């Protein structure tokens, strides 16, 4: 065969192959899904979870896309992709974003799909997040906006070495309340110039804990108005101010100095535990948040897997949400120790309690915190980003001394009234 003929035969074969190959391709449904992982370990475990679901699911192929971190504007990218029509079929969003995504029509109401699904039960999950996920928007009778991926709660991370040095009992027990907490902050603060007793970040959840523990609330009972115009708000803020008198200056990230061993107590969620295990070079542990005048309280943080309103495969996307929140997959992810499964079953809780066995971390503190936690609320009857900004600005003035707690309580609800639907 001459070179010319060989060339022509090769080209012909190539062209025929290019036409024939697609005919043999499997007619799979491909679903893309995305989470916001905090680190490579989480990316690895989500990738493995995706592969295990993919292998067990005929006719559907999964593509897992780890989204950027919180600081890399996970939601901004997602919104841009939704607008461009290139967003994944299923994605995770924080609990506080569910309302604005739902009201903007960006996510699918899964109520009808869930109603026909015999294997699905609302009661399997923490009631708080499910309550918000089932809130219908105008013109709807029923709703299900997604299923919670996991939950989390705050705890007090404490430096056991500093407690020992100060001669203090570790923060635990029935009398672990604000009096003991403030006393511990003051005593530890007195250990040296570079040591501070307490630290918390400027995120609303931190000062919000003090508000809740004093008996106040961000919103009224049905989440239709501000709930901060009362004396409990004043008491909560005064306690927070008292704690920060012996703490890391307001608004600064308290985690690095805690990990450097210069902070006695520090409020943060379960997500900070792996970092503390890896980086803290001293004896530390976690304890429940101290009990305030209104009794034990905490936050129940959560995020949900939701379905893109423009997905071409809503049934499969719903099925993926269910599979991603199954006990088995939640077990795989909980094994990292960064999150608590969103299924409130004994099996799931037991699974979480046995994570990070070598670290000696008091996992029970988080489970107890979640049990008494005020559920992080998506605001269906107001503009949460605007309210968040107004709260944040005013609270910044309080902690910087430009506004007293009483002035805050007197004015804040009037300031944000325009952001609630009348």
Partner 1 sequence: MQQAVLEKRPLLPRLPLIIPLMVIWHLVVIGASVYVASWLARMSITEFNERYSNIGPAVQDFMTLVLLLPAVLGAFSSVQGVRLHPSGRYAAVALNFVGMVLAAAYLMHLWGVYTGIDEFADGVVVNAGWLVGIAVAYALFWLAGRLDSESAAALWLERLGLGLAMLALMGLLWFAGAAEAAVSILETYAALETWLVTAALLIFGVVFVIMLYHGPTFGETTQQKNAWQGWLMLSPNIIGFALFFAGPLLLSFYLSFTNASVGQVPSFTGLENYGDILGLQVEVLADGQNPREVLWFGYGELTRLSIGDRTYLVGASDPLFWISLRNTLIFCLLLVPISTIPALLLAVILNSKIPGMTFFRAVYFLPSVAAVVGTSLIWRWLYDPTIGYFNYFISGGVDFLNSVGIGATDPEPAWLTTSGLALFSVVLLAAWQLTGFNTVIFLAGLQGIPRELYEAAYVDGAGRVRQFFSMTLPLLAPTAFFVIITTIITGLQVFNEIYTLFFVRPLPEHVTTSVYYLYNRGFFRFEFGYASSIAWLLFALIFTVTLVQFRLSRSSAYED
Beta strand 298-307 with 196-199: parallel, antiparallel or unpaired?
unpaired
Site string for partner 1, 392-411 (x = CB under 8 A): xx--xx-xx-x---------
3-state class (DSSP) for residue 283: coil
Say if CB 199 and CB 156 are below 8 A apart: no
Task: Please state the closest distance from residue 356 (CB atom) to partner 1, in A.
Answer: 26
Which of 262, 273, 285, 297 contacts partner 1 by CB under 8 A?
262
**Interface region with partner 1, contact rule CB under 8 A, candidates 47-55, 59-67, 144-152, 253-261:** 253-261
Cα 46 off chain centre by: 16
Task: Please state the closest distance from residue 401 (CB atom) to partner 1, in A.
Answer: 9
User: Could you give the CA distance from residue 307 to residue 290 in angstroms, rounded to a whole number?
Assistant: 38
User: Could you give the CA distance from residue 258 to residue 276 in angstroms, rounded to a whole number?
Assistant: 9
In angstroms, the Cα distances linking 97 to 106, 272, 284, 302, 385 are 11, 22, 34, 11, 9
Where are any strands of DSSP class E within 43-164?
Answer: 60-66, 90-94, 147-152, 154-159
Q: Which of residues 93-122 bind partner 1 (CB under 8 A)?
A: 100, 104-106
171 closest CA partner among 179, 181, 161: 181
Cα 27 off chain centre by: 36
Say if CB 377 and CB 359 are below 8 A apart: no
Task: Please state the closest distance from residue 244 (CB atom) to partner 1, in A.
Answer: 11
Task: Please state the closest distance from residue 69 (CB atom) to partner 1, in A.
Answer: 11
Task: Report the residue number, 212 or 308, with the smaller CB distance to partner 1.
Answer: 308
Q: Which of residues 271-310 bind partner 1 (CB under 8 A)?
A: 309
**Interface region with partner 1, contact rule CB under 8 A, candidates 11-19, 168-176, 177-185, 276-284:** 11-19
> According to the binding rule CB under 8 A, does residue 15 interact with partner 1?
yes
**Interface region with partner 1, contact rule CB under 8 A, candidates 148-156, 255-263, 318-326, 339-347:** 255-263
Q: Judging by beta carbons within 10 Å of its beta carbon (0-12, 13-18, 19+), is residue 249 exposed, middle or buried?
A: exposed
Which of 2, 5, 22, 118 contacts partner 1 by CB under 8 A?
22
Site string for partner 1, 46-85 (x = CB under 8 A): -------------------------x-x-xx--x--xxxx
> According to the binding rule CB under 8 A, does residue 230 interact with partner 1?
no
Longest dimension (CA), the chain: 96
> According to the binding rule CB under 8 A, does residue 252 interact with partner 1?
yes
Site string for partner 1, 196-215 (x = CB under 8 A): x----xxx------------
What is the residue whose two structure tokens read 């325009």? 418
Say if CB 185 and CB 247 are below 8 A apart: yes
In this structure, is the dihedral angle defined by the CA atoms of residues 124, 130, 131 and 135, taken in order, positive or negative? negative
Task: Please state the closest distance from residue 75 (CB atom) to partner 1, in A.
Answer: 7
3-state class (DSSP) for residue 374: strand
Q: Given the rule CB under 8 A, which residues bind partner 1?
A: 14-15, 17-19, 21-22, 71, 73, 75-76, 79, 82-85, 100, 104-106, 196, 201-203, 248-253, 256-257, 260, 262-263, 309, 383, 385-386, 388-389, 392-393, 396-397, 399-400, 402, 414-415, 418
């Amino acid at each position: 065969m001459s070179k010319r003929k060989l060339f022509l035969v090769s080209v012909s074969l190539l062209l025929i192959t290019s036409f024939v190959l697609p005919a043999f391709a499997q007619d799979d449904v491909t679903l893309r899904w995305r989470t916001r992982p905090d680190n490579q370990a989480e990316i690895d475990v989500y990738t493995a979870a995706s592969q295990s679901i993919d292998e067990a699911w005929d006719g559907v192929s999964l593509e897992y896309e780890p989204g950027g971190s919180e600081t890399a504007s996970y939601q901004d990218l997602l919104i841009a992709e939704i607008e461009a029509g290139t967003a994944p079929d299923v994605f995770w969003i924080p609990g506080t974003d569910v309302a604005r995504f739902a009201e903007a029509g960006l996510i699918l109401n899964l109520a009808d799909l869930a109603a026909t699904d015999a294997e699905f039960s609302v009661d399997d999950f923490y009631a708080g997040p499910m309550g918000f996920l089932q809130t219908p928007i105008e013109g709807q009778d029923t709703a299900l906006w997604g299923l919670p991926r996991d939950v989390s709660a705050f705890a007090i991370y404490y430096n056991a070495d500093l407690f020992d040095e100060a001669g203090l009992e570790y923060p635990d027990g029935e009398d672990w309340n604000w009096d003991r907490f403030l006393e511990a902050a003051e005593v530890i603060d007195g250990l040296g110039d570079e040591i501070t007793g307490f630290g918390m970040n400027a995120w609303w959840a931190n000062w919000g804990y003090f508000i809740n523990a004093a008996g106040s609330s961000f919103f009224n009972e049905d989440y239709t108005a501000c709930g901060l115009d009362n004396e409990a708000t004043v008491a909560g803020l005064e306690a927070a101010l008292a704690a920060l008198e012996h703490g890391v200056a307001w608004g600064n990230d308290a985690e690095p100095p805690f990990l450097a061993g210069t902070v006695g107590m520090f409020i943060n969620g379960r997500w900070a535990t792996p970092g503390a295990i890896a980086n803290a070079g001293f004896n530390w542990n976690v304890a429940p948040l101290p009990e305030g005048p209104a009794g034990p309280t905490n936050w129940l943080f959560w995020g949900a897997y939701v379905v893109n309103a423009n997905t071409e495969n809503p049934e499969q996307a719903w099925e993926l949400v269910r599979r991603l929140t199954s006990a088995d997959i939640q077990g795989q992810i909980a094994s990292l120790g960064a999150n608590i499964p969103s299924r409130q079953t004994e099996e799931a809780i037991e699974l979480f309690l046995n994570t990070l066995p070598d670290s000696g971390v008091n996992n029970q503190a988080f489970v107890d915190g979640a049990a008494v936690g005020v559920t992080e609320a998506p605001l269906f009857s107001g503009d949460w980003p605007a309210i968040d900004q107004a709260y944040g600005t005013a609270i910044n003035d309080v902690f910087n001394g430009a506004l007293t707690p009483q002035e805050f309580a007197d004015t804040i609800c009037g300031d944000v009234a325009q952001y609630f639907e009348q």
